[in-house]
Each structure stands twice: as structure tokens, then as C-alpha cells.
């Protein structure tokens, strides 16, 4: 039995498939095909062998069973260099299949359109993955194509004498990468349907969005991958309007600014960020006012920083931004005049992010790669324990007990823990600062007034240094400001710094065995302090 050159073609994405098959025919191949692909090829004037002619069995079960047959898989898996394999094909009258061109049922597109469970399950491909995995296993004899971008390369090499072993190995790799992503999408979808948050085994599907010149440092190679389903209001959905490509550090830092911006909802807000930490934050009645407050918070650090803005950038705001060097501006919209002004700076990058204030989806997780493993956690979505804002006007419950050593232990609940309760203005400033400190690297202290930060201390190895840093940055603006601490005060020393600086109120989680000492220090100075329960470490 003389083996004929045959290609099996069955694709959901029919981009370029007609021209590819014409090229195969030109190179002496017979085309085997199924269903809709066979119809499209016949309509283009190509001779096609129906899959049933190969299997001797009709397509059945609404197309669920087409290619799952020994006449197909023996033709794919027989090793041409193995005489016993070839003798068995001869005896069984099975022809080899030398090229497989298959892409899978559109499970991703089915999910994206919000299909119900039944439709999603029906769009899980069975025959396709089986065929391409079989062909890829026998890579030395079969060229298997899952990406239309590879059609021309295969045709070029066929015209030059045959698909090279190097290309076949590359195509083999693409098959298993393709099925790994496909199966990841399916398994994660099924986990979500079952409410499984942290499965025993997990895979994640990402696609390359951008090659980068380098990583954090020039000696590090880097790339940006985005999720298969880009999240609303994320950098993966950003449209770049102006400027050179974003760098690794740009994306990392911009994400920090974007996460904080979401805390302010529709209130006009501007976050200035440096090294993924806020350096100035402002809110106001307009984007312009919010920008000026953010800039005035730290006009030194904002230079060369990143701006995240939750409203339309207008002419006045753009004029102010252009007075200094800014790396990136992110906003949902820009006026035509604002773009004209900002584009005068060749080194600025302008990003448009629709739905920039969209909150994170419940299926999103915070992940940190460590050498040899992966840390996965839910995002820190809370602000105040129980989200109960009455905490600012409610007296905290206090319990005192005697320890075994005879010492007294005082435990405070959430609420006002000092003799003096905060004023309405101080409460507004507390809430504002609490949102900022939540997105500042620990140990973190933020001081500020209603609508703007005045000083930020971040990333210190002890809390007193973070407090001193924030106060030093604020300078004379510290007086009359409010302080927020992302975790409890282990000692009253931070309160003592507040007294010296003229800070009038403090918001913190509470929970230290030294809480009483800090409360008493506040009472002595007339400072109001509120415990809110939730800690906001960020590392």
C-alpha cells in the first residue's frame, strides 16, 4: 500500500485556512476535513475527503464524535521509522496523516459572552485536543499547526523540500502550550462554578502582552503577560495614546497608583506615585483641584512620578502637569486641548483606562511569586472592620483583666478610645488617610488633612521611623494634620512624635499589648484616637 500525503484540517478559527489548504494541495497533499471546515473548503473549490470516508463511520452525537477513531489516530501516531508500526498500518489499510491543522472549540469566547453552564460545557473540545496531542507526540513525522500565524512558515518549508525537524519541535511546543491554556480556562471555570477558592492544584492562563527592553534593572530580561480575560479598569485594558512603550517599572508603579485610586470612587481624585508607593494624594471638587492638592503634598517626590486620575484631564490640569516631568498619566479621558498640551512632552506616556474606578472582581487574587512557590491571597478589599463608619462616633468597649503575673491587661474594641472624640473634619481626614495608608508599603504612616496628604512614611523597618519620616516630609504642614498607621503602635513613641508635630487625631487598628500607654499619651495631649480593627499590611 502506497502511503499518500495527507493533511487533516478542522478549525474553529477559519482565518487563512482556505489559502493554507490551497498551498497544501499545491504541494501534493490530500485534504481530510470535518463539518463546517469541510464545507468552507468545498465552497472555495477544493477537493475534500470527508472524515467519515476515513473512519468508515458517520459523525454522530451532534458532532461530539467525529475523529475519535483508530483510522485517524493510528495514522497520526505511527512512527515512520518503526517497521512494525508501518507493517501494521499496511495490514489494517490505514494511511498516514502527515499534517494536522486544528484549533479548538472557542471555549474562551463562549465564556467571554457570558454563556450558561450547558453552553460552556458543549464548547469543551474533545476530539481536537486528542488529535493535536497525538500529532505532537509523533512530532518527528507529523507537523501540527494550531496557530494561523504558522501557516506560511509551513508552506514555505514544504516548498523547499519539507517541514524541518526544528520547526516540528516548535509546533509541538505550541500544541502543549495551547492545550495547557485551554485546560486551565476550563478547570478554573469549573472551580468557580463549584465555589472552590483555593484548589489543591492550580494553573493560570496568561498571554504575552509586551516584550520589554529589560526588567527592574538593565541586566534582567522581562515581559508583561496579561490575563486571558482582561479585568475592567486594569492596566491590561489600557490604551496608550502617547509616548514610548511602558517599562517593567512603569507597569509595576502604575499598578500601585491605580489600586489606590479605586478607593475614592467617583470623587475627583489624583494619586501621585513613585516606586509603587503614593507620594501625594488629593481629592477635591474637580480634577484640577485634586491634582493641585496631590502635587502640593510632595512637589519634590512627584517629579518623575506617575499620576492616576479618575476624571477627565482638562486644559488647566494638563498645563499644571506639564510644568514638571511626569513619566505617566492614567485617566479615563482627556480633552482634545489637554492632549495637545501634554503631547508637547516627548517623554511622557499617556494612558486611557476606561472604567478606571472599577473595583476588583471577586475572582481576582493577589499573587506573589517566591522562589520555588507562589503565594496567593484574596485582595484586601476591606477598609474598616465591618465597614461600620459609626466607629468614629462610638465609644470603644474596654475590658480589663489581671494576668498571672499580677499585671493589668487592657483590651480595647473598635471605636473612640480617647477622652476626646474626633471632630467631623478630623473624621473626614482620618478616612482619607486610612485609604492612602492601606496602599502604602509597610511599615506605613500617612498624615494629612481633609482632601490631601501632607506627609507619607513608608517601607520602614520600625513604625517610629515611618512616623518620623512622614512628619519630616510634612514639615510645617504636620501641624493640624491627622495620622493613619497601617498597624498598631507597639509603643507610645509614635504618639509622642504626634504631640511634638501638632497632629490632632490618629486612626489605627489597635490590638497592641501597649495600647493603654498610647491611649494615655493621647489623652494627656488632647489627641483623639480611633481603633478600627482591620490592619492593612502591604509588602
In whole angstroms, what is the distance from residue 329 CA to residue 352 CA?
9
Q: For residue 500, how many C-alpha atoms fall within 13 Å in the half-sphere facing its CB?
A: 11
Catalytic residue among 69, 137, 232, 345: 137
Q: In a 10 Å sphere around its CB, with 0-12 CB exposed, 13-18 middle and 19+ buried, how is residue 342 labelled?
A: buried
Q: Is 275 a catalytic residue?
A: yes
Q: Are 442 and 537 in contact (CB under 8 A)?
A: yes
In whole angstroms, what is the distance from residue 107 CA to residue 124 CA?
6
Non-local (6+) Cβ contacts of 256 within 8 A are 273, 276, 277, 278, 439
Cell, residue 281: 494624594
Where do we find the cell 496602599?
439
Q: Which of 347, 342, 378 is nearest to 361 (CA)?
A: 378
Three-state DSSP at 359 gives coil
Three-state DSSP at 331 gives strand
In whole angstroms, what is the distance from residue 451 CA to residue 335 CA?
25
Where do we find the cell 468552507?
40
Number of other residues whose CB lies within 10 A of the CB of residue 367: 10
- Strands 398-402 and 239-242 come out as unpaired
Three-state DSSP at 233 gives coil
In whole angstroms, what is the distance from residue 330 CA to residue 332 CA?
7
Non-local (6+) Cβ contacts of 433 within 8 A are 446, 447, 448, 453, 482, 483, 484, 507
Q: Are 32 and 48 in contact (CB under 8 A)?
A: yes
In whole angstroms, what is the distance from residue 350 CA to residue 343 CA?
8
Q: What is the residue-wise DSSP string for 92-145?
A: HT-----EEEEE---HHHHHHTT--HHHHHHT--SHHHHHHHHHHHTTTT-EEE
Give the H or E element holding residue 163.
none
Catalytic residue among 85, 275, 345, 385: 275
Q: Are 222 and 249 in contact (CB under 8 A)?
A: no
Non-local (6+) Cβ contacts of 412 within 8 A are 396, 397, 398, 510, 515, 519, 531
Annotated catalytic sites, by residue? 137, 275
Amino acid at each position: 500500500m502506497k502511503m499518500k500525503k495527507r493533511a487533516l484540517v478542522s478549525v474553529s478559527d477559519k482565518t487563512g485556512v482556505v489559502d493554507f489548504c490551497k498551498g497544501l494541495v499545491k504541494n501534493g497533499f490530500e485534504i481530510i476535513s470535518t463539518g463546517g471546515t469541510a464545507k468552507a473548503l468545498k465552497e472555495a473549490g477544493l477537493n475534500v475527503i470527508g472524515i467519515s470516508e476515513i473512519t468508515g463511520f458517520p459523525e454522530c452525537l451532534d458532532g461530539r464524535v467525529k475523529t475519535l477513531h483508530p483510522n485517524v489516530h493510528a495514522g497520526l501516531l505511527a512512527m515512520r521509522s518503526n517497521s512494525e508500526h508501518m507493517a501494521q498500518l499496511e495490514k489494517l489499510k490505514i494511511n498516514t496523516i502527515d499534517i494536522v491543522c486544528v484549533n479548538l472549540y472557542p471555549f474562551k469566547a463562549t465564556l467571554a459572552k457570558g454563556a450558561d453552564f450547558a453552553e460552556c460545557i458543549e464548547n469543551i473540545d474533545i476530539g481536537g485536543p486528542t488529535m493535536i496531542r497525538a500529532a505532537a507526540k509523533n512530532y518527528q513525522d507529523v507537523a501540527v499547526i494550531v496557530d494561523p500565524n504558522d501557516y506560511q512558515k509551513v508552506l514555505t518549508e514544504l516548498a523547499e523540500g519539507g517541514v524541518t525537524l526544528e520547526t516540528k519541535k516548535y509546533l509541538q511546543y505550541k500544541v502543549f502550550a495551547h492545550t495547557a491554556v485551554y485546560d486551565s480556562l476550563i478547570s478554573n471555570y469549573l472551580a468557580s462554578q463549584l465555589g472552590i477558592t483555593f484548589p489543591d492544584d492550580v494553573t493560570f492562563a496568561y498571554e504575552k502582552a509586551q516584550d520589554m527592553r529589560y526588567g527592574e534593572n538593565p541586566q534582567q530580561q522581562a515581559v508583561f503577560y496579561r490575563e486571558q480575560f482582561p479585568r475592567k479598569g486594569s492596566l491590561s485594558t489600557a490604551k496608550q495614546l502617547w509616548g514610548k512603550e511602558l517599562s517593567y517599572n512603569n507597569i509595576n508603579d502604575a499598578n500601585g497608583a491605580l489600586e489606590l485610586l479605586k478607593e475614592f470612587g467617583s470623587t475627583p481624585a489624583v494619586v501621585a506615585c513613585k516606586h509603587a508607593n503614593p507620594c501625594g494624594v488629593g481629592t477635591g471638587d474637580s480634577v484640577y483641584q485634586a491634582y493641585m492638592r496631590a502635587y502640593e503634598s510632595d512637589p519634590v517626590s512627584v517629579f518623575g512620578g506617575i499620576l492616576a486620575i479618575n476624571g477627565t484631564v482638562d486644559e488647566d490640569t494638563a498645563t499644571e502637569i506639564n510644568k514638571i516631568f511626569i513619566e505617566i498619566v492614567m485617566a479615563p479621558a482627556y480633552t482634545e486641548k489637554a492632549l495637545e498640551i501634554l503631547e508637547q512632552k516627548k517623554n511622557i506616556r499617556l494612558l486611557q483606562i476606561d472604567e478606571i474606578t472599577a473595583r476588583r472582581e471577586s475572582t481576582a487574587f493577589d499573587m506573589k511569586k517566591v522562589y520555588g512557590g507562589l503565594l496567593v491571597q484574596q485582595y484586601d478589599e476591606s477598609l474598616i472592620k465591618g465597614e461600620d463608619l459609626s466607629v468614629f462616633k462610638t465609644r470603644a468597649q474596654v475590658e480589663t483583666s489581671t494576668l498571672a503575673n499580677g499585671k493589668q491587661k487592657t483590651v480595647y474594641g473598635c471605636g473612640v478610645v480617647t477622652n476626646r472624640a474626633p471632630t467631623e473634619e478630623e473624621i473626614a481626614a482620618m478616612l482619607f488617610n486610612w485609604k492612602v495608608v492601606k496602599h502604602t508599603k509597610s511599615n506605613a504612616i500617612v498624615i494629612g488633612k481633609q482632601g490631601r496628604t501632607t506627609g507619607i512614611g513608608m517601607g520602614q523597618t520600625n513604625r517610629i521611623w515611618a512616623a518620623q519620616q512622614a512628619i519630616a516630609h510634612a514639615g510645617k504642614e504636620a501641624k493640624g494634620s491627622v495620622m493613619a498607621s497601617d498597624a498598631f503602635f507597639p509603643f507610645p513613641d509614635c504618639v509622642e512624635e504626634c504631640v511634638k508635630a501638632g497632629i490632632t487625631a490618629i486612626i489605627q487598628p489597635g490590638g497592641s499589648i501597649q495600647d493603654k500607654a498610647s491611649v494615655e499619651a493621647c489623652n494627656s495631649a488632647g489627641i483623639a484616637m480611633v481603633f478600627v480593627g482591620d490592619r492593612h499590611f502591604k509588602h
